[in-house]
């Protein structure tokens, strides 16, 4: 079961990376969703502990994807990169990414 989760996560990351390399959007256009970052939890850390810390930081716990151990976090619009950096320093959080936009099958 654990290896299938790891495999799904790897496929998801490779998909995001391949799309980032093929992006044709201009620099002035945002390539991420305003007001959102995605976090992954460290192994063995409970969702409730991280959720409590997010609320202490006065951020919004929007959605948790249990099978991937990822959570969508609401942050102030315009402060996504700042919060990604701050959250990456939290010991319960494995990684933080901007919620990147991508096109499926070349659609816009």
What is the tens place of the pLDDT at every residue in 54-87?
999 999 999 999 988 999 999 999 999 999 999 9
Using a cut of 0.75, tell me whether the model's pTM lies above it: no
Question: pLDDT tens across 22-61, in order?
Answer: 555 444 467 999 999 999 999 999 999 999 999 999 999 9
> For residue 30, what are the contacts with CB-CB under 8 A and spacing of at least 6?
101
Domains, in order of start, for the chain: 25-100 (3.30.70.80)
Separation in Å, CA 69 to CA 6, 34, 47, 89 = 10, 22, 8, 18
Output the CA–CA distances (angstroms, integers) from residue 58 to 41, 49, 50, in the order listed. 18, 15, 13
């Amino acid at each position: 079961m654990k290896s299938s989760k790891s495999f799904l996560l790897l496929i998801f990351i490779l998909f995001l990376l391949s799309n980032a390399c093929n992006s044709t959007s201009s620099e002035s256009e945002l390539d991420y969703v305003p007001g959102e970052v995605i976090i992954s939890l460290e192994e063995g850390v409970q969702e409730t502990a991280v959720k409590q810390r997010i609320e202490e930081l006065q951020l919004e716990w929007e959605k948790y994807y249990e099978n991937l151990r990822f959570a969508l976090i609401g942050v102030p619009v315009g402060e996504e990169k700042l919060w990604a950096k701050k959250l990456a320093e939290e010991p319960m959080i494995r990684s933080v990414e901007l919620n990147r936009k991508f096109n499926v099958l070349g659609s816009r």
